[in-house]
Amino acid sequence: MTRGQDVEIDPAASILGLIDVQPTFMPGGGLPVPDGDRIVPPINRLMRHFAHAFATQDWHKPGHLSFASAHPGRSPYETIELPYGTQILWPDHGIAGTEEAMIHPDIDQTRIELVVRKGCRIELDSYSAFFENDHTTPTGLDGWLRQRGFRQLFLCGLATDFCVAWSAEDAARLGYDVTIVEDACRAIALPTAGGRTTMDEARDRLTVLGVRFAVSADLVTAR
């Protein structure tokens, strides 16, 4: 990751979004993202730039339909068709109420004003902070952000190519100015066709929508 152009933070309209910064997505968790634990110090440093933050948590009931274990004979990372579309089957993770589903204990939570729990419906997965995976069932985050006057979102967390990317995509379509802070994220990067990965595809999709990719050193507070 290298520095790009400066990205100005508007203190009156900006908020930092921590997407699924949970031990369940870190080494030793149910669905570990490579080096996922290494985002905790950068996020705590990043938090100093913002007066406001929100967080999301995957919060699944046991037997969730996105789990491979809920489909006898299926293995993690296979895909199936569910009523709302194609679903990647995941290892069991983010089980509601467990320690590994909590926000990582080393995260500075003093600026986190809202926690959105998603994937709570056993029959419906949820990557995005804004909508369940049927793309129509809202989480309520959009209304909260608008009522608070936030227009500029900076996103970090796990994983860049799934929950962070889907959140960024929905935010851009809803009219927010969106920046993904790459050094405070990590990707799963599953292989796809033509030697590409889910991260390559996510970057292409988001760039078309005007989502910026930056690193912490690019961020400057507007005067």
Give the residue numbers marked as catalytic.
20, 118, 163
70 exposed, middle or buried (CB, 10 Å; 0-12, 13-18, 19+)?
middle
Q: Which strand (E) or helix (H) includes residue 153?
A: strand 152-158
Rounded CA-CA distance 202/185 in Å is: 13
Rounded CA-CA distance 105/168 in Å is: 25
Rounded CA-CA distance 212/5 in Å is: 10
Alpha helix ranges (H) inside the chain:
40-46, 141-148, 165-173, 198-208
Which residue, chain included where needed, has tokens 């920046």? 179
SS3 7: strand
Name residue 197's beta-bridge partners.
Answer: 191
